[in-house]
Structure 1
């Protein structure tokens, strides 16, 4: 049985939704960020970066949410959540996965933690404002990509969709939130109805009312 070390709405959310989508037996283990449990000695033995999530698969321990997601998808190819080897959709899948997890997520982290990117506390608000504009432009690009499409890659849901849903939810408080975009907003509302998204969100105590 898989064990997922998680905290609600953190980067563990997408792997959690993936496991529910696949119907995998798993155990959720809460890492209490409020008490800084991700920096505890026992947790650092699992993930020396001190970040969430961690997946334990028998003797294998994996951190980084995208690596966890890929491991799950490749361990369970019958789920169809990653395009087949040799298909034309496979490189496009990796293109968007890396854009989401390397570019979009990284820019969001600067937005949420601006104080880590300056030695002058007075500059944090300006950094946050600039980052919101940068990330909004990235959502605008994705909005264009989703015109006439139900999913980000091909004609069926993939791992990328769960990661995009997670990152878009993180930006719900933006002046121009992802839901306000025509195609991205429609896409997010549709995903929010999916059983795996609903179930994982309920288990984590995440309210999805904004998508109704």
Structure 2
């Protein structure tokens, strides 16, 4: 049985989606951010970065949400959430997962934790404003990719779509959120009716009303 160390509406959300979608046996273990449990000595033995999530699979512990998603998909390829080895879609899967993780998620982290990126608090409003623009630019790229497509890679849902839904939900408070973009908004409204997304979001207390 897998063990997922998680916190609601955190980077653990995408792995949580995959565990449920593939109907895998798993245990959810809450990491209490309010008490900074992710920095405890016990947790750091599993995840030396002191962040959430961590997946324990037997005698190995894996951290970084995107790496966990890839691991789950490759361990259970029969579910089709990652393109087959040698297919033309496989490099595109990694391209988009990397873009979501290294560009969109990275920009969101700067936006929500601006104090980590300056030693002058007076500049924080400027950082937030700049990040809103950078996030909108990243969302525009994704919006264009979704034009005429059911899912990010085409006709079949993959782990990239669950990862994108997680990040898109995080954009709702910003100046130009994911729902500002036509193709992306249509796609997200369709995804919010997906049984896995509905179930996991209800369990984690995530409000899907904005996507209705």
TM-score (norm: length of structure 2): 0.98
Partner in structure 1 of residue 91 of structure 2: 91
Match in the other structure for 2:204: 204
1:25 offset after TM fit, Å? Answer: 1.0
Instruction: Give the aligned partner of residue 163 of structure 1.
Output: 163
CA displacement 1:68-120 (0-9 Å, x = unmatched): 00010000000100000111111111110111111111111111111111110
Q: Distance in 1 between matches of 2:86 and 2:48?
A: 35
Aligned residue for 1:100?
A: 100
User: How many angstroms apart in 2 are the aligned matches of 1:120 and 1:92?
Assistant: 40
Question: What is the DSSP-based 3-state SS (H/G/I as helix, E as strand, rest coil) of the residue aligned with 2:82?
Answer: coil
Please name the residue that 2:183 is paired with: 183
- Which residue of structure 1 lines up, in the alignment, with residue 25 of structure 2? 25
CA shift, 1:186, in A, is 0.5
- Name the count of aligned residue pairs: 212
Contact 1:146-1:152 at 8 Å conserved across structures: yes
- State the match for 2:143 in structure 1: 143
Give 1:53 shift.
0.2
Q: How does 1:48-63 map to 2 (within 5 A)?
A: 48-63=48-63
| SS across alignment from 1:128 | helix
Q: Secondary structure at the match of 2:29?
A: strand
* Structure 1 CA distance for aligned equivalents of residues 117 and 174 of structure 2: 20
3-state DSSP class of the match of 1:151?
coil
Separation (CA, whole Å) in 1 of partners of 2:204 and 2:27: 13
> Who is 1:116 aligned against?
116
Establish whether residue 131 from structure 1 lines up as the match of residue 131 from structure 2: yes
* Structure 2 residue ranges without an equivalent (≥5): none
> Unpaired segments of 5 or more residues in structure 1?
none
Task: List structure 1 runs of 4+ shifted beyond 6 angstroms.
Answer: none
- How many angstroms apart in 1 are the aligned matches of 2:140 and 2:154? 19
Deviation of residue 39 (structure 1)? 0.7
Q: TM-score, normalised by structure 1?
A: 0.98
- Deviation track 1:56-79 (CA, whole Å, cap 9, x = no partner) reads 111111000011000100000001
Give the C-alpha shift of residue 154 in structure 1: 2.6
CA distance in 1, matches of 2:66, 2:105: 11
Q: Is the 8 A contact 1:69 1:159 kept in 2?
A: yes
Secondary structure of the corresponding residue to residue 175 of structure 1: coil
SS at match of 2:5: strand
